[in-house]
Amino acid sequence: MLAKYIPYRETHSFSPIVLDYLDGKDALEPFYAYKPVLAGFKEAINNRNYTVNRQLLTDIIHKQYAGISKSVALDEHIQLLKNENTFTITTGHQLNIFTGPLYFIYKIVTAINLAKELKQAYPDYNFVPVYWMATEDHDFEEINHLKVEDKMLTWQKQAAGATGRLSTKDMAEVLQAYQGYLGITENGKKLSELAEKAYAGHQTLSAATRELVNGLFGEQGLVCIDADERELKREFAAITFQDITGQHSFEHINAANEALTDMGYKPQVNPREINFFYMTDQLRERIVNDGDGFLVNNTEIRFTKESLQHEINNYPERFSPNVVMRPMYQEVILPNLAYIGGGAELTYWLQLKSNFNFYKVSFPVVMLRNSAMVIDEQSARKMHICSRKWYGKIRSCNWQS
């Protein structure tokens, strides 16, 4: 296989803020903690000050892997999380059926490879690749389909609430259709068996996705984490109450957005006054301030400040952070050194730095995931000819047949 590398700017696929961040533009320094280079990781290692409950974290991971065959590398990584010299290298994504888009895979491979590279550079420390499962996301329409060649496969279901809690009992039809496209090659058969084991062998989408990802990357020591856990949410409860009642994330992220906009950049996300959902098995709705207290949108559930404190203390699992508070929850419960995401994720992480500063939560190294396109020889030749014909001097047209 011939590999060709194209500079990010020449792909014309990334926003100015992402490109300027990768180039180390001085104006963006207030919006991140460490540069995404080897020296930046060393600085982060020296500065990170964790209050992570490592024993709780490993206990929950072991519980979540009950009934799943763990590789030696995975079991070793879970045990290493107890040690103070162990860091996580995290990426995250929604629970797309059968992994969904290819960048699901790219993210995980980037995390695994970065963990290996850091271990070589800093052998006195351990680096564990982590897939953060977006189990609390409720956008079912974004994860319920997969395109195989020219065929769209869709999981037909009336869904509500967090996707990680969805039952997989009605996946037989889409599972069978997916298996039909895998063919009878050795790899096709292995993937078919893995999909069957995952989606037919588990009760929830969260458990099924863990089985599937473990089957693909468990030998590399990748740890899957579902943060929809009562005791993990308890670790975040103080910030949950403080942010709902004080609306600090709204204030600080809006200020960062204004600063970035003044610099000519376009923010990726906009905070709400309250950046948490109230969540039960069939419900994930925004919490809003109605003037007299706090209301769960589209329900009759209401809280005073005092009853909200009681609810968070006693049922922390019912409070789900949205896109701007999820990264902070992640950094509170993980000994995390780096987060790997796509261009949109990288952008919104830069919007969050001032809010991390307010809550005195460490900010990780933020990395752009690797990207790739695999094409056959004939397609490469056509791309080379067409780009020369239509785009003339385009520098990124360097495909070889």
Q: What is the pLDDT of residues 122-148, one digit of tens each?
A: 999 999 999 999 999 999 999 999 998
> Has residue 384 got a pLDDT over 90?
no
**Least trusted range by pLDDT, from 62-66, 67-71, 234-238, 390-394:** 390-394
Pairing of strands 86-93, 126-133: parallel
Tokens 């979540």 correspond to 64
Residue 5 has pLDDT above 50, yes or no: yes
pLDDT of 4 reads 76
Report whether pLDDT(274) > 50.
Answer: yes
How do strand 276-280 and strand 283-289 relate by DSSP bridges? antiparallel
Distance CA 35, CA 236 (A): 27
In sequence order, the β-bridge partners of residue 132 are: 92, 225
**pLDDT of amino acid 399:** 33
pLDDT digits (tens, 9 = 90+) for 341-351: 999 999 999 99
pTM for the predicted model, two decimal places: 0.92
The answer to whether 312 and 319 are in contact (CB under 8 A) is: yes
Q: Percentage of residues in the chain with pLDDT exceeding 70? A: 95
**Residues 344, 97: Cα–Cα separation, whole Å:** 21
Beta strands at 365-368 and 336-341: parallel, antiparallel or unpaired: parallel
Cα separations in angstroms, 159 against 93, 137, 165, 319: 19, 12, 10, 19
Please tell me the distance from the alpha carbon of residue 345 to that of residue 358, in angstroms, as a whole number: 21
Please give the structure tokens belonging to residue 7.
């500079």
Whether 398 shows a pLDDT value over 60: the answer reads: no
Q: How large is the average pLDDT for residues 225-247?
A: 98
Residue 184 neighbours by CB distance under 10 Å:
7
**Which of 274, 273, 256 is CA-nearest to residue 265?**
256
Mean pLDDT over 365-381 rounds to 85
Cβ within 8 Å of residue 302, ≥6 positions away: 290, 293, 294, 295, 296
The Cα 79–Cα 332 span in angstroms is: 19
Number of Cα atoms under 13 Å in the Cβ half of residue 366: 26
Residue with tokens 């204030």: 251
pLDDT averaged over every residue in the chain: 93
Q: What is the pLDDT of residue 224?
A: 98
CA distance from start to end of the chain: 11
The secondary structure of residue 375, as a DSSP letter, is -
